[in-house]
């Protein structure tokens, strides 16, 4: 069992850690508000998500499909031109979808759900580059949101029937007599069990179970092609039966390795470190006790003393999405124009709806290189100085009346949610003492502090 956090260890710093990891961070006032709720109520408030479609209406697209008008009446040139137009339309719709989601992550009243959607997006990794239909990837995003905190087994069944997934892992061509093993392999290796916890025979037999999974081209919905399905007897994990896709998912999820694999991935995402074997056993036990309900499992984690251990605080490298949203939150400024946001995420290596491969993003140290670190530093200056209404209120962040000592305390809490390292604090103190408190000086010191390795951690 995970150890409950003692009440005296629920501090402002603990509340900041919870808000940073369970969601996308917040301003000092938001941290204070969460802390004032008390630990259990704070966790419940984050994990209780209501409806908000009226606040963030999703873009409305139709499935994209190429049709030759009059069958073969189009010339090759006309076909090429139509494909060019459709590709341009797909790019525009994809950008619209990305802008919608990043805006929702930044401003939703339920940020913990969006953080969990981001986790599942990297877990059930599919990319627009192969799916090539914004309608399908947006539809999948809504499925991730609806299932984010729910039970894993029905979630896995729905993802097996997800049209974007079907196209991404080639299920749409899998049929009786010629099953495609791509999905069955990735389902076991990357989505449920982990490498080494299944045999090649299990994959081959499971592939037969998922034959006949199709996409309705008119609606973009799942369609079961019974004529293409292999209804014969299969042997999976030593069990024999005429298993279909749903029954196969039940067999997989019931394996003990499933809870171990998923709980470890969840812990790694939220804590920033793979759990040791002994801790993983505890986490898997908690996940099973929750009935593989992700929201329940996250509540157990966020209430535990283990989650707040000092060795985990301010040790996780911010993902590009986390970095840009959390930075805007601590500066209490709006997101930049979406073109700036998208270009930044592209250069930093986390483009929404386009994970690099079926494994998703590696995360952790993979987020940082000399070039991406420099880009973070440069963009920090843009966000601090802004322009017009987008510029953060420097007087609120660092009042002119603050002494250098007070300024160090204020900046330390706002930017790092904890004490600065002594060397950085000393440099900050002397810079302020030497250069005064003009607005430009105060913006400069905020930029300088954000241009440190410490600020890249949460």
Kindly list the domain boundaries of the chain, sorted by start residue: 7-48+256-312, 320-456
The residue behind tokens 């997006």 is 121
pLDDT band at 70 (very low <50, low <70, confident <90, very high): very low
pLDDT(64) > 90: no
pLDDT(4) > 80: yes
- The alpha carbon dihedral of 382, 375, 347, 265 has a sign of negative
pLDDT band at 145 (very low <50, low <70, confident <90, very high): very high
Using left for φ > 0, alpha for ψ between -120 and 50, and beta otherwise, residue 386 falls in: left
- The alpha carbon dihedral of 406, 408, 413, 418 has a sign of negative
Q: Please give the average per-residue pLDDT across 430-454, as a whole number.
A: 96
> Cα(333)–Cα(383) distance, rounded to whole angstroms?
8
Q: Are 331 and 385 in contact (CB under 8 A)?
A: no
Cβ neighbourhood burial of 358 (10 Å; 0-12, 13-18, 19+) = buried
- The alpha carbon dihedral of 216, 220, 223, 229 has a sign of positive
DSSP letter for each residue of 10-22: --HHHHHHHHHHH
Q: Which two tokens stand for residue 335?
A: 């997101």
> Cα(232)–Cα(227) distance, rounded to whole angstroms?
13
The pLDDT tens digits for 380-410 are: 999 999 865 688 999 999 999 999 999 999 9
Q: Please give the average per-residue pLDDT across 162-171, as a whole number.
A: 98
Q: Please give the average per-residue pLDDT across 250-267, as a whole number.
A: 98
Angle subtended at Cα 24 by Cα 330 and Cα 454, rounded to the nearest 5 degrees: 60
> Cα(258)–Cα(187) distance, rounded to whole angstroms?
11
Q: Which two tokens stand for residue 23?
A: 């969601």
How distant, in Å, are the alpha carbons of 156, 167, 177 from that of 159? 5, 12, 24
> Cα(419)–Cα(299) distance, rounded to whole angstroms?
27
287 contacts: CB under 8 Å, gap ≥ 6: 259, 262, 263, 266, 297
Q: Which two tokens stand for residue 256?
A: 């003990």
Q: Which two tokens stand for residue 403?
A: 């002494």
pLDDT band at 82 (very low <50, low <70, confident <90, very high): confident
115 contacts: CB under 8 Å, gap ≥ 6: 22, 23, 24, 105
339 contacts: CB under 8 Å, gap ≥ 6: none
Report which of 404, 397, 408, 403 is spatially closest to residue 439, judged by C-alpha positions.
397
The pLDDT tens digits for 18-60 are: 999 999 999 999 999 999 999 999 999 999 999 998 999 999 9
Q: Are 92 and 162 in contact (CB under 8 A)?
A: no
For position 337, what pLDDT does the model report? 93
For position 151, what pLDDT does the model report? 98
pLDDT(160) > 70: yes
> Cα(214)–Cα(197) distance, rounded to whole angstroms?
28
Beta-bridge partner residues of 223? 214
pLDDT band at 71 (very low <50, low <70, confident <90, very high): low
Cβ-count burial 390-413 (b if 16+ within 10 Å, e if not): eebebeebbeeebebeebbeebbb
Rounded to two decimals, what is the model's pTM?
0.96
DSSP letter for each residue of 9-70: G--HHHHHHHHHHHSS---HHHHHHHHHT-HHHHHHHHH-----TTTSPPP--PPP----TT
């Amino acid at each position: 069992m995970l150890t409950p956090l003692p009440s005296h260890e629920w501090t402002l710093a603990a509340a900041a850690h919870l808000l940073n990891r369970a969601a996308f961070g917040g301003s000092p006032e938001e941290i204070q508000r969460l802390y004032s709720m008390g630990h259990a109520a704070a966790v419940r408030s984050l994990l209780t998500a209501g409806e908000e479609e009226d606040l963030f209406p999703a873009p409305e697209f139709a499935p994209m499909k190429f049709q030759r008008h009059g069958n073969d009446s189009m010339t090759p040139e006309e076909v090429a031109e139509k494909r060019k137009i459709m590709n341009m339309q797909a790019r525009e719709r994809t950008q619209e979808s990305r802008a919608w989601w990043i805006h929702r992550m930044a401003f939703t009243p339920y940020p913990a759900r969006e953080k969990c959607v981001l986790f599942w997006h990297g877990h059930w990794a599919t990319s627009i580059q192969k799916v090539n239909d914004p309608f399908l990837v947006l539809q999948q995003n809504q499925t991730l949101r609806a299932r984010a905190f729910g039970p894993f087994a029905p979630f896995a069944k729905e993802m097996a029937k997800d049209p974007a997934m079907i196209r991404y892992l080639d299920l749409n061509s899998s049929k009786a007599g010629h099953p495609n093993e791509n999905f069955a392999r990735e389902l076991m290796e990357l989505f449920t069990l982990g490498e080494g916890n299944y045999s090649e025979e299990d994959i081959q037999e499971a592939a037969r179970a998922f034959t006949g999974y199709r996409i309705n081209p008119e609606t973009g919905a799942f369609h079961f092609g019974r004529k293409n399905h292999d209804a014969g007897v299969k042997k999976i994990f030593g069990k024999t039966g005429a298993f279909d896709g749903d029954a196969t998912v039940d067999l997989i999820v019931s394996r003990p390795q499933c809870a171990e694999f998923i709980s470890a991935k969840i812990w790694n995402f939220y804590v920033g470190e793979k759990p040791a074997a002994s801790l993983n056993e505890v986490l898997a036990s908690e996940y099973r006790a929750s009935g593989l309900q992700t929201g329940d499992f996250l509540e157990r984690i966020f209430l535990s003393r283990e989650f707040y251990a000092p060795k985990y605080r301010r040790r996780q490298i911010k993902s590009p999405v986390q970095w840009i949203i959390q930075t805007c939150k601590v500066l209490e400024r709006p997101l930049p124009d979406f073109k700036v946001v998208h270009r930044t995420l592209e250069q930093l290596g986390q483009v929404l709806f386009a994970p690099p491969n079926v494994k998703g993003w590696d995360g952790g140290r993979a987020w940082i290189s000399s070039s991406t670190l420099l880009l973070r530093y440069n963009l920090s200056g843009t966000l601090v100085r802004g322009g017009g209404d987008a510029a953060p209120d420097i007087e609120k962040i660092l009042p002119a009346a603050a002494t250098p000592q007070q300024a160090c305390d204020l900046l330390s809490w706002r930017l790092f949610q904890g004490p600065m390292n002594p060397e950085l604090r000393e440099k900050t103190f002397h810079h302020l003492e030497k250069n005064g408190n003009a607005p430009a000086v105060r913006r400069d010191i905020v930029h300088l502090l954000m241009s440190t390795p410490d600020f890249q951690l949460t």
